[in-house]
A and B are shown apart, each in its own frame.
Chain A
């Protein structure tokens, strides 16, 4: 499809882009910066309403983008994650400075960038999309420029990210050199017919570096705890979910289209990386004392579980990645919504701030408990469905070792999630009661709770819509 014809299938993205520029312009004229945030939310909702499930896969802009149910799913993930993040950010005091309006506007660009990543079907587009997301992420992490931790996090993120991107770019150049094409499908066929196994193996490893950084896969996860701790809490919430989900989207597409002939080469590597990621994440999470660092390591471990689905790479494995990502989106954003609230009220992200939360703010404690139980994979919550899917995929494909390691890791994970629950419910309160959350935060909390419960109890509704 040529560019003009493609445009009519690209309306939600155009709305986002137009909305982003409009938000930046609006920022000049309004004093009440919250209005800009509300405007951005409106744009996101509009884009979500305009997005339609494509009846059949379409190739847009001369094959640069692929619009299919897979893209549609990640489009929804990106828009939801951005919307919830905006709701969190609108109640977050440290952002109340003269740049508040730009902060909201940047999230619309971010949503646009994420969707292009999900739709990208071409090495060039993938690189541009991933870099677009990365650059915006660096900016957002360092947004509180008077906070040394925020600055440190941004620099660390930038340096680490640039190196990983460069390595991935090198892998892409190898592929282009060998096959003479940037299109994933053409590359896949060329690699197979010319039997370029060593080159394909090298290139796929380079992809693992570049995208492993995005999904915080061990051993490229080092940046995550520092960045997640230093970034403004709403940004952390966003980073643990959206770029990670899109990293998985690209990885799935690349492996599926370009390297599927070589599954025997990369599948064992992914098994090892998956085990490494979940084990490192879980074991390090046990001893954390800062809730943001704690959730950072927990999110690394969660990436390990999702990688299980990718390592198996059956149809069920791919479904598992999608379902797990959706469950993770609800649970993790929900948990961060509570963290934002408690951080706002107590001014602290240390675990001590959660002592006796059950009596200081029963609703917040109960919600955080539900989100943590979901992350731990306790039924009948969303997280259990994700766990069920990855384990089912592993068992079906006879990846027994992977399943057993995943099981042991789930027990370790339950231990540290219950550590937080213990602090909230079993320890007596030492600090005064908390106030009520802002209206936007309440909305975000209840939306995520509804997601966690609905996905856990009525999964078939979601499964039919996501997987058809």
Chain B
């Protein structure tokens, strides 16, 4: 098992998914337990891989290589490094917690958990694939289960949200495919192997054109303004666990793509694109913040706050220096935990009240003290309170961007102020004030729900207090990437 640990991480959910197919539709509890056990096993496997992972190395580790389509030199090529491994860990954690939080799914359990596990396979494979062809295949494999998960179990406008998500991402992905093909045919010998492709000389104009093709694919996923319009729809309509997966993992696939493919493959184009990237990051941070401030729908507010927070990842990417990259990678991880938690909390409230209108709540702090405490914790983590992980990552990003552009940094700090505004305004409207008599019968947060949130809180505090615990895994790889980019 140790020699093929990455394949086991990818295919264990698939095995679980097909096991579920053989369970009769009527035995919903059994199906739930199988899904939960599968995601738990995957987390166990990732923990096992963690013991094998050598943080001091910058190259790929635990690589697996098998020829898949020899005619095109396509390989089944897996490997992990300091960029992908934290994402794999995040995927395993979020998948388990979101599975635990899937109690709100009341119908068609068999289909739900089958698709859910299929989705986990796709996400894991996206973070582990080192062959561009394989990467494209698994990138698309993620879309189909997501379409159904939003479309079948989502809110009132689920059909629209599902197809919009699908078409946006598919369109971006197809342009990425054209880019992948261009890279393939431009390389001698023709190969999709990222370990060979990095470092091959490419003309500037070629790099620019193909960088843009990849950019379309990744920008839709992040999402970068103006490709973000699918996000509020998808996040709001998706059921709670799927919103958690979307915000926690799927958005990271976009920024991961920049780290893994766009930057090392097209170093000159990366420098050329730096100002645009910074501009788009600032637009995302400020625009996302202002729109979040204007929301009355709790979930939509969290969704737009995602746009703002992912802007910090982009800002770190645009900085093109050590602090910026470290901040961006850390922000990818912390945003997954914090926003995942916020979406879970929105779900907790929605399950009880069937409402997400923040203006309609009020005074819940006295009624649901446990819930109020946890919500305040996540709100503070999200707005960047020191000693919590959100602060560390955003601080590092700003530190990095300051070295690149003072103006960009100055404008971006506006995002932090906005975050404080919309999050505290939310706390005020939901938890403080007079209790709306309509919600007098609401019960406090349950043990299972705390169970889904507690691990995230531990991570947020631990990373906030001692960030080098996770940064140590990332730094050698990120430093090597900076060398590739010649900065």
Residues of chain A having any CB pair with chain B under 8 Å: 373, 378-380, 384, 388, 391-392, 395-396, 403-404, 407-408, 410-411, 414-415, 418, 422, 425-426, 459-460, 463-464, 467
Contacts and interface: CB of A to CB of B under 8 A. Distances in A.
B159 A415 contact: no
Contact of B185 (A388, A396, A418): A396
20 contacts: A378-B140, A379-B136, A384-B137, A384-B140, A392-B72, A392-B181, A392-B184, A392-B185, A407-B175, A410-B170, A410-B174, A411-B167, A411-B171, A415-B167, A418-B166, A422-B151, A425-B152, A426-B152, A459-B69, A463-B71
A381 to B, nearest CB: 10
Contacts of B290: none
Nearest to B143: A378
B215 interface: no
Given A391-B177, A460-B68, A426 B158 contact: yes
A378 B152 CA distance: 20
B178 A422 contact: no
Contact of B144 (A378, A396, A459, A464): A378
B320 to A, nearest CB: 29
Given A378-B143, A414-B166, A414-B167, 11 more contacts: A379-B137, A388-B177, A395-B182, A407-B174, A410-B174, A411-B170, A411-B174, A425-B151, A425-B152, A460-B71, A463-B69
Contacts of B151: 422, 425-426
B211 interface: no
Interface centre among B141, B143, B158, B170 (most CB of A within 10 A): B170
Interface of B: 68-72, 136-137, 140-141, 143-144, 147-148, 151-152, 158-159, 162-163, 166-167, 170-171, 174-175, 177-178, 181-182, 184-185
Nearest to A397: B185
A329 to B, nearest CB: 20
A395 B71 contact: no
B171 A415 contact: no
Contacts of A464: 71
A460 B68 CA distance: 7
B140 A422 contact: no
A392 B71 CA distance: 13
A463 B70 CA distance: 10
B174 A418 contact: no
Chain B, interface SS category: helix
A460 B70 contact: yes
Interface centre among A404, A407, A415 (most CB of B within 10 A): A407
A408 B152 CA distance: 27
B148 A403 contact: no
Nearest to A385: B69
Nearest to B138: A379
A426 B148 CA distance: 8
Nearest to B140: A379
A403 B152 contact: no
Contacts of A410: 170, 174
Contacts of A378: 140, 143-144
Given A411-B174, A422-B159, A391 B181 contact: yes
A407 B184 CA distance: 18
Contacts of A460: 68-71
Interface centre among B70, B137, B152, B162 (most CB of A within 10 A): B137
A403 B163 CA distance: 23
Given A426-B159, A460-B68, A395 B181 contact: yes
Contacts of B159: 422, 426
Contact of A403 (B72, B158, B178, B184): B178
Contacts of A411: 167, 170-171, 174
A415 B136 CA distance: 20
B454 to A, nearest CB: 35
A426 B178 CA distance: 32
A196 to B, nearest CB: 35
Nearest to B178: A403
B144 A391 contact: no
A395 B178 contact: yes
Contacts of B152: 425-426
Per CB-CB distance, the 10 closest pairs between chain A and chain B, nearest first, are A379-B137, A395-B181, A407-B174, A411-B171, A460-B69, A426-B151, A463-B71, A396-B185, A379-B140, A392-B181
A407 B180 CA distance: 13
A379 B143 CA distance: 10
A392 B136 CA distance: 14
Contacts of B175: 407
A418 B147 contact: yes
A460 B182 CA distance: 21
Nearest to B158: A426
A391 B71 contact: no
Contacts of B137: 379-380, 384
B178 A404 contact: yes
A407 B178 contact: yes
A425 B167 contact: no
B416 to A, nearest CB: 37
Nearest to B179: A395
A467 B69 CA distance: 14
